């Protein structure tokens, strides 16, 4: 695929194909139905190697976050400050990502988030980013 990053591996290819299509996909075990992220060659729950890539809701909750003021790479100087978040996906796995369209003063743990796709700083294909869903911390519908 044209948008496949050079660091894609056979294990992660399904994830990157989803990103190129603007769709968040996670590995799911065909034997025990467990979801997992990051991608692995085997199911972390039952050790099966019968794994599929399935689209997920892209919804989750803010589990932790920090605001980054020092660019980790020279090409990211334009991007700081940015918000780094740990997102607990609705399906269970945790995902590290960036928060967009908000600022740290509005954030509270447990807030409802949703995935959007964009190119955060680096010249890479679209990546899943997260933004506040409905801008509230209450239980989303």
Q: Which residues contact Zn ion by CB under 5 A?
A: 29, 31-32, 34, 43, 45-46, 48
Quick one: 45 or 52, whose CB is closer to Zn ion?
Answer: 45
Residue 115 bridge partners (DSSP): 130
Query: What's the CA gap between 131 and 42, in Å, rounded?
Result: 31
Residues 6+ apart with CB under 8 A from 69: 80, 81
H/E element holding 61? strand 59-68
What values do phi and psi take at 128, rounded to 5? -70, 125
Residue whose CB is less far from Zn ion, 54 or 67: 54
To Zn ion, the closest distance from the beta carbon of 43 in angstroms equals 3
Q: How far is the CB of 14 from Zn ion (least distance, A)?
A: 16
Q: How far is the CB of 45 from Zn ion (least distance, A)?
A: 4
Distance of closest approach, residue 36 Cβ to Zn ion, in angstroms: 8
* Least distance in angstroms from the C-beta of 88 to Zn ion: 20
DSSP-derived letter for residue 64 is E
Kindly give, in sequence order, each residue whose CB lies less than 8 Å from that of residue 104, ignoring residues fewer than 6 positions away. Answer: 65, 67, 83
Which of residues 36 and 98 has its CB atom nearest to Zn ion in the complex?
36
Query: Would you say 51 or 112 has its CB closer to Zn ion?
Result: 51
Q: Which is nearer to Zn ion, 44 or 57 (CB)?
A: 44
């Amino acid at each position: 695929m044209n948008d496949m990053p050079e660091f894609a591996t056979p294990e992660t290819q399904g994830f990157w194909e989803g990103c190129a299509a603007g769709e968040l996909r996670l590995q799911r075990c065909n034997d025990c139905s467990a979801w997992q992220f990051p991608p692995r060659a085997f199911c972390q729950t039952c050790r099966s190697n019968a794994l599929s890539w399935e689209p997920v809701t892209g919804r989750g909750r803010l589990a932790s976050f920090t605001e980054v003021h020092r660019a980790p790479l020279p090409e990211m100087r334009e991007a700081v400050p940015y918000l780094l978040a740990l997102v607990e996906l609705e399906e269970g796995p945790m995902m590290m990502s960036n928060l967009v369209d908000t600022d740290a003063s509005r954030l509270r743990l447990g807030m409802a988030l949703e995935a959007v796709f964009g190119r955060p700083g680096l010249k890479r294909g679209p990546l899943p980013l997260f933004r506040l869903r409905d801008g509230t911390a209450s239980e989303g519908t």
